[in-house]
Structures are given as structure tokens and as C-alpha cells.
Amino acid sequence: MKLYYPNAIKMPCPHYNARPNGPKGVVSLLVIHNISLPAGFFGGNYISELFAGTLDCEAHESFDELNGLKVSAHVCIRRDGKILQYVDFAQRAWHAGVSVFEGVAGCNDYSVGIELEGTDNHAYTDAQYASLQDVTCYLFSQFPMMTSDRIVGHNTIAPGRKTDPGDAFDWPRYLSALA
């Protein structure tokens, strides 16, 4: 069964695989990330191209380190609130990397990854918060083990390695909108 957010624009992405069978593969965690390509640049198609594996790594000097990288997220929310879905929620996207939540390693196995187009220190938009709230409520309706106390930033599950969604992300605003 494929599971897509109804209002998302579906984007093809080859970087995913099946979740493991059994308890480890039960979706119960939401991980919030940020992304901009190149760093601090908003708009354009570079994010989608990265997730599709079609990014021209010669298009910008900072893209050298992305050559051959195979990553994805389930969803990316653009600055205007537009929701792009790369991986069906029932599948394992490759967004968390080396990660642990509450002593359970391999967060990709049991999480959904949402990228916000942004940076750690650049305020997110009202449209992004509205779309993130909508997608989160949808996920809560589909995955009963996912609750507001099981929403974390990438920095929480990969401390010392990741900093997103950063200080600019307004956790109280987001979480209070879910109550």
C-alpha cells in the first residue's frame, strides 16, 4: 500500500527501501530537518535533484561533497508552503543517517523525515508552519504510535553531527498548534 499526503506534489526518488518487518519498522517518530542548496539559497530545483540523484554537482562549488550521495526525505516543505513528497510514508527514506532515539538506533527504520527549506538561523515562514502542521496531523491519523512527544529535530537523534532544524525553528509555535 502506498501512502502519500493528499495535497503533496509527488516527485520521483530512487533513494528509499522497505522498512524492516516487525516492531523496528513500525512508524513512530517524526524527524524535522532543514535543507537549502546551495547553503542559504531558497528556490530552484536543487533539493529535488539531490533526492532524485540527478543533481549536477558542477552547478555550484559546494556541490562537490554531494557527488554520489544517496539521500532522501519523505517530504520537503518549500518556503511558500508547497509540499513535495519524494518517498511514500510506508517506505524507509534515507534522511537520518547514523541516529538514535530513546536507545533505538537506525531512526530511518521507524521514522518519517520532513525537510523544511531553510537554514538553522533563518526564520521559517508562516506557510511552512501551516503545511508542517497539516502534514503532521495527517501522519498522526495514519500512524497511531506517532505522537507529539515523538517529534524531534535531526539534532536530537544525531547530536554533535547535525544541528537542524536549528535555533530558527519555533518549537513552541509548532507543537502548540498540534494540541
The residues annotated as belonging to the active site are 115
Distance CA 120, CA 151 (A): 17
Q: How many CA atoms lie within 13 A of 144 on its CB side?
A: 0
Query: Minimal CA–CA distance to 82: which of 131, 119, 36?
Result: 131
Q: Are 53 and 67 in contact (CB under 8 A)?
A: no
C-alpha cell at 156: 536530537
- End-to-end CA distance of the chain: give it in Å, rounded: 29
